[in-house]
Structure 1
Amino acid sequence: MFYWWLKNGLLGPLFATVFRPQIEGVEHIPADGPAIIVCNHLSFVDSVFLPLAVPRRMSYLAKSDYFTGKGVRGALVRWFFTASGQLPIDRAGGKASEASLNTGLQVLAEGRILGLYPEGTRSPDGRLYRGRTGVARMVLEAHVPVIPVAVTGTDEVMPLGKRLPRVKKVTVRFGEPLNFSRFEGMEGDRFVLRSITDEIMYRINQLSGQEYVDVYASTVRQGSAAS
């Protein structure tokens, strides 16, 4: 109930009036049943614009840092992520990655829509980066359709390092569902997982028009921080 109020009674009308986002291809989202929405990641506000564009309730796997902030800002961020149905995950790898997978599978088992960022983190420069194969493993284990989507313009609304949004044009573009049933039972094959992930990133790239870089975004961000 609170999610409905947040989306339809507060944020939805506000963002529709102020930003007037352009939404395309929403007919590709199934009316019911589980599905995975995979999206590029340019800005913190991607997690606002995308759920508002989806006509059904969706949940995100969000990094646990968003739920542990201090002070008033930390409390507000924690409130928003909890209220909007986003679930904290630890991205440290190993057992933490397994727990994230299980959390996502539970969302899908309940017939809901799960949102994932295959890049794993926000793009440091607006380009599209290599996808993490965890998304492919989840796709194969859940046996659900995958809807690629590209959000553009959000890096202008709220660039990395900025605290307040600016009014800029935003487009949310959904593509046709992808079906990977031909790889059923092959979730242990790392070459299959990479192939699926690369196809997902290719479809997102077609929708976004971003320049593609075949390295992980986290590697670039770590390199920038160290220099």
Structure 2
Amino acid sequence: MAEFVYPPVILAAKTMFRVLDNRIRVEGAEHIPATGGAVIACNHVSYLDFIFCGLGARPAKRLVRFMAKKEIFDNRIAGPLMRGMHHISVDRKAGLASYREALEKLKAGEIVGVFPEATISRSFTVKDIKSGTVRMASAAQVPIIPMALWGTQRLWTKGHPKTLTKRHVPISILIGEPMHAAPGEDAEVLSKELRRRMSALVDKAQAEYPDKPASEADRFWLPAHLGGTAPTPEEAKDL
């Protein structure tokens, strides 16, 4: 598969983050397989998460094909980039086609990236996750790699202005050990275990994060249970 678009996009992103001194820390990159298919299951706290999730796979020299909603592909600017990077368009009215495309990529040895929570978590905790991630990995017989991002919500998240040029924002990318979904295993049980592993990675990223809010207004990016002003999981559901 020719890669004319993806490498320049990665280079541009890395250059921008380097100029802004957004210190990116990747831990657990050894869990990304050097070859063969895999599903990366990542938490979702920012509109930019697909960029950093993809960067988490770069130490293994892998490119991640993300499943993303069709509306992004319909965008005049983002659409050509998404297609050029061979990402997977998800039409919620015709989900089977995107599922089959993802399976084909996995069986062909590609890494597919998904956000099992489906939408951004406004509480910055891991929401209930969809079982499709586990079902897809099981059908393709590939491992699931849990991943956690932290710090990306400070740049552009739901309900707050985007600050893409904010400097000196640390970004943590933590990657956990692979999970294996054998055929016939209960997808709901495995999904709960995946959520547990993702939550543990998020907790670790939060505990080790080198920054604290600089002001009362800056506490928006901390979850309520850590003293931040983000909504609780229950309040986020109402929103």
- For 2:63 and 2:92, the matched residues in 1 are separated by 24
Note if 1:118 corresponds to 2:116: yes
Question: How far 1:4 sits from its partner (Å)?
Answer: 1.6
Distance 1:16 1:148, change over 3 A: farther
- For 1:123 and 1:82, the matched residues in 2 are separated by 26
Aligned equivalent of 2:65, options 51, 59, 70: 59
1:32-82 deviation line (CA, Å, top 9, x unaligned)? 01111100001110011111221211100001111223xxxxx22223323
Residue in 2 aligned with 1:13? 15
DSSP-derived class of the 1:128 partner = coil
Preserved contact between residue 153 and residue 170 of structure 1 (Cα < 8 Å): yes
Residue in 1 aligned with 2:52? 49
DSSP-derived class of the 1:119 partner = coil
List runs of 5+ in structure 2 lacking aligned partners: 207-222, 224-232
Preserved contact between residue 116 and residue 129 of structure 2 (Cα < 8 Å): yes
Note if 1:207 corresponds to 2:206: no
Which one-letter code corresponds to 2:40 in the other structure? I
Question: How far 1:97 sits from its partner (Å)?
Answer: 2.6
Preserved contact between residue 117 and residue 130 of structure 2 (Cα < 8 Å): yes
Q: How does 1:1-227 map to 2 (within 5 A)?
A: 1-2=3-4, 3-7=6-10, 9-18=11-20, 19-55=22-58, 56-69=62-75, 75-92=76-93, 96-161=94-159, 162-165=161-164, 166-167=166-167, 168-181=169-182, 184-186=183-185, 192-209=186-203, 220=236, 223-224=238-239
Which one-letter code corresponds to 1:58 in the other structure? V
- For 2:68 and 2:107, the matched residues in 1 are separated by 19
Scaled by the length of structure 2, what TM-score is found?
Answer: 0.77
Preserved contact between residue 6 and residue 83 of structure 1 (Cα < 8 Å): no
- For 2:124 and 2:46, the matched residues in 1 are separated by 9
DSSP-derived class of the 2:184 partner = coil
- For 1:16 and 1:33, the matched residues in 2 are separated by 30
- For 1:33 and 1:153, the matched residues in 2 are separated by 30
Question: How far 1:125 sits from its partner (Å)?
Answer: 2.5
Distance 1:85 1:20, change over 3 A: farther
Scaled by the length of structure 1, what TM-score is found?
Answer: 0.81
Output the aligned Cα RMSD.
Answer: 2.1
- For 1:108 and 1:31, the matched residues in 2 are separated by 14
Residue in 2 aligned with 1:214? none
Which one-letter code corresponds to 1:195 in the other structure? V
Over the matched positions of the two proteins, sequence identity in percent amounts to: 29
Distance 1:125 1:83, change over 3 A: farther
1:123-182 deviation line (CA, Å, top 9, x unaligned)? 12212100011112101101001110000111111121434423321100001111222x
DSSP-derived class of the 1:136 partner = helix
List runs of 5+ in structure 1 lacking aligned partners: 70-74, 187-191, 212-216
